[in-house]
Each structure stands twice: as structure tokens, then as C-alpha cells.
Amino acid sequence: MSFRDAIGRVVSHPTINEFQTRLLGRSRLEAHLNPVAARTFADAPVGTVVDIGGGTARSRAMWPAEWTYYSIDPDARVLEVEATDKHIERLVGDAAALPLPDNSADVVLMQCVSHHLDESTWPVSLVEANRVLKPGGSFIFLDGVWRKRRWFSRVFWKLDAGHYPRTSDQLETAIAKQFQVVETDRFNVVHHSILLTARPFS
Ligand SMILES: C[S@@+](CC[C@H](N)C(=O)[O-])C[C@H]1O[C@@H](n2cnc3c(N)ncnc32)[C@H](O)[C@@H]1O
């Protein structure tokens, strides 16, 4: 294992990751994300949400207990950390090959994950998100973006276990190939961040 991989294994540990996301303004991210999530279940007492790279499944708390929530993450260490008492279906799996059938999700969430996905995995993950979404379902995407002029953000990217931060243009262009974007929110926390809601093309 290379030195970089060894450091990555430490900083990606779920407990350290929880601490890091707090530093990166987790509560402010959630203040933007929660209302977007709430709109997806406003008229749907039951449904299925798939959280790609769900990590400690902290996002489970956003959906009603009656909704089925899948967290799909390749890192089995997340099983050590329970973030909520609501039911979680945990699957060890990869964004590039979601272990779920076609048209099975009302919502697919990808929160703070794209910067972990390399150049081959990232576009495939969007194809997979599209595949598992039902027609009319919602894809919710949130991540920090790479900005050359935002120096303190660049420092945090250097310390991150994810080595593939992308510009806003790169992220939005890739998403627009798979989905129709219906809502965009941009805001600064430590990183400049984008929050998109999108739907499969009808
Ligand atoms: C910064 S954490 C975000 C966790 C969670 N989405 C959240 O916002 O609390 C990034 C997560 O992406 C996961 N991840 C990394 N590579 C992945 C891949 N190829 N497919 C799915 N998840 C991946 C990591 O294991 C980690 O749990």
C-alpha cells in the first residue's frame, strides 16, 4: 500500500470522516439539502431512497421512517457507526454497479461522494443512478467543487480522502448528459458547493 493510500485509509475512516464533515460545514449543507429532500416525500407517505456512498447513513434522518432507505457504500467500516435509529438497508457496493434493479428508487441521493469517484467511475455512477430511478423520480446531487482561486478550499481538498474534486462546469455537464436538471442551488461553505435536483429524461 502506498503512503497516499495509507493516509487515505486513515482519513476516510467513518469516525474521522464525521469529524471532517463537521469542519466542512455539515450543518450548513444540511440546511440547504433538507428542504430539497422534504419536497420529494411531501406527497408520498412511502417510497424508496438510494443513498450512493451513504457512509454513516447520516442522511437517513432526512426521510420518513416509512420510507425504505438503502445506503450503498464500498467501505464496510461504516457498519461500525450507526447514525440514526430509523431502519437502514446497508449494502456494500460500488457507485459504478449499484446492487439494485432498474426503476426501483423514487429518489437517488449522491451527497459529498463525486470527489471520491475517478474519471471512469464518475460518469458510470450517473448512468447507474439513472438506471435505478423510476420515471419521474428525483436525483439529488450535492458536493463541493474545485475552484483554483479559493485557496483555503484547495487546502481542504489536499487533506480529503477523495482525490477527484471537479469544477462546477465539469459536474454539471456530466449530470446534464443523464438527467434533466430542474433546480440548482450554489452556496459557499468551506468549499463552493452545488446542490442539483434532476429527473430522468421522459
Ligand atoms: C465524504 S463521505 C460522504 C458520506 C455521505 N454521503 C455523507 O454525506 O455523509 C464519501 C463516501 O463515499 C464513499 N465512496 C467512495 N468511493 C465510492 C464508490 N466507488 N462508490 C460508492 N461510494 C463510494 C466512501 O466510502 C464514503 O463513505
Q: What is the mean pLDDT of residues 84-96?
A: 91
CA-to-CA distance for 66 and 74, rounded, in angstroms?
Answer: 25
C-alpha cell, 202: 421522459
Task: Find the mean pLDDT for residues 31-57.
Answer: 95
Domains of the chain in sequence order: 3-200 (3.40.50.150)
Ligand 1 pocket, residue 117 CB under 6 Å? yes
Grid coordinates representing 166? 471537479
pLDDT digits (tens, 9 = 90+) for 174-184: 999 999 999 99
The stretch 90-96 carries a mean pLDDT of 95
The span from the CA of 48 to the CA of 67, in Å, is 6
Confidence class for position 118, pLDDT limits 50, 70, 90: very high
Helix-helix angle 121-132:168-178, to 10 degrees = 40
For residue 117, pLDDT beyond 80: yes
pLDDT at 80: 63
List of residues 6+ apart from 167 with CB closer than 8 A: 145, 146, 147
Q: Of the residues 19, 116, 156, 193, which should be mutated to test ligand 1's pocket, given the most ligand atoms within 8 Å of the CB? A: 116
Nearest to 100 by CA among 110, 86, 111, 89: 89
- Pocket-testing residue among 113, 117, 118, 189, ligand 1, by greatest number of atoms within 8 A of Cβ: 113
Expressed in angstroms and rounded, the spacing between residue 136 Cα and the centre of ligand 1 is 25
Q: Whose CA is nearest to atom 13 of ligand 1?
A: 53
